[in-house]
């Protein structure tokens, strides 16, 4: 019986590890597609690209960290309470303020990114970047939406 439980435990652990690996690979594939899409859309010169991509990658990492913090800190606290109704008014206030703080940090990060890239990119390309990021997200959602409907 002990061997049976141990075998099942290792099997489940292996499945969970494979699932986590697949999610990581999927995120990396999406990032690569995004870089490729933005490269084509922005038509950066080699000089612009050398300056742009390191700054953009750091910016994206910071934004991802802020979004993950929101998901982990806020969503998990609501989940731990069972639902919104399970939160006390004080806990809800704390989460609202935390959400506002994260929003402000995201705005500051966007402003910092703009300040850095505007030193070498024309504003038309910066505007094209914003539009292209939204278009990429829309196309990605359509693609995954179609895949999930099948």
d(C-alpha 57, C-alpha 23), whole Å: 20
Write the pLDDT tens digit of every residue in 131-150: 999 999 998 888 877 666 55
Give the tens place of pLDDT for each residue, 85-118.
Answer: 888 899 889 989 999 999 999 999 999 999 999 9
pTM, 2 dp? 0.74
In angstroms, rounded to a whole number, what is the distance separating the alpha carbons of residues 52 and 119?
A: 10
Is the predicted pLDDT of residue 9 greater than 70, yes or no? no
Separation between Cα atoms, residue 98 and residue 94, nearest integer Å: 6
Q: What is the pLDDT of residue 79?
A: 81
Amino acid 6: pLDDT: 47
């Amino acid at each position: 019986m002990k061997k049976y439980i141990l075998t099942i435990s290792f099997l489940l652990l292996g499945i969970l590890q494979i699932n986590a690996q697949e999610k990581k690979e999927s995120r990396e594939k999406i990032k690569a597609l995004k870089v490729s899409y933005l490269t084509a859309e922005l038509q950066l010169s080699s000089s612009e690209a050398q300056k742009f991509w390191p700054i953009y990658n750091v910016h994206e990492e910071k934004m991802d960290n802020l979004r993950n913090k929101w998901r982990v800190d806020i969503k998990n606290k609501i989940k731990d309470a069972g639902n919104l109704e399970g939160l006390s008014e004080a806990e809800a206030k704390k989460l609202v303020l935390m959400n506002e703080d994260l929003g402000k940090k995201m705005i500051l990060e966007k402003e910092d990114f703009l300040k850095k890239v505007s030193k070498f990119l024309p504003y038309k390309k910066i505007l094209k970047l914003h539009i292209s990021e939204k278009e990429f997200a829309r196309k990605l959602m359509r693609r995954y939406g179609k895949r999930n409907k099948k």
